[in-house]
Amino acid sequence: MKNIVLKDGRTAILRRAIKEDAEEMLKYMDTIATESDFLTFEQGELKLTVKKQQASIENNLMESKLFIIVMVEDKIIGNLSFSAGHRIRSRHAGEFGITVLKEYWNNGVASEMIGFMIDWAKERGVIRKINLRVRTDNPRAIHLYSKFGFKCEGILTRNFYIKEVFYDSMEMGLLLD
């Protein structure tokens, strides 16, 4: 657990998710699905129940996985999920996804979560590379990832299809050694 002060002065708590967060997490996911077209899912598409969300959180307690949330009071305002391979040949690399409630954009929430994840991965000593995928028309996110040292490794054309429009995505990676 880590206490953080947001750029707007509010205090938040960054911590690993626990199964008791499942119901609040479902509310959070439903909200963020309406706030940005940069996500890989739409509102109502995930079809998660509290029980399924609890199982997902518990599954992310494994050594090669990380599921963190940021809370202000009792409200989830951000989350990051990282998963590395579980086989010998792929356990050194993993991919993450990150979201923040729009009300909290530009407050340092995403930077705090990414920094936490990188430190966590380095402490493990197994994870040597972190990957992500971001739409090429999302310069704010690309700038954020670049700030942490992530590099473009390629472009996937027509990788997303949203409201009858195709979007390309950029594969980015960070080497930890």
Burial 157-169, CB ≥16 within 10 A → b, else e: eebbeeeeeebeb
User: What pLDDT shows up at residue 45?
Assistant: 60
The answer on pLDDT for 155 being more than 80 is yes
Query: How far apart are the C-alpha atoms of 93 and 176, rounded to whole Å?
Result: 10
- Tell me the pLDDT tens digit for each residue of 72-105: 998 999 999 999 988 889 989 999 999 999 999 9
Q: Looking at residue 64, what is its pLDDT?
A: 83
Q: Over range 157-173, report the average pLDDT.
A: 95
**What pLDDT is attached to residue 104?**
94
Chain segment 28-77, per-residue pLDDT in tens: 888 888 888 787 665 666 666 677 777 777 666 666 899 999 999 989 99
Percent of the chain at pLDDT above 90? 63
| Residue 159 near residue 138 (C-beta atoms within 8 A) | no
The superfamily CATH assigns to domain 2-127 is: Gcn5-related N-acetyltransferase (GNAT) (3.40.630.30)
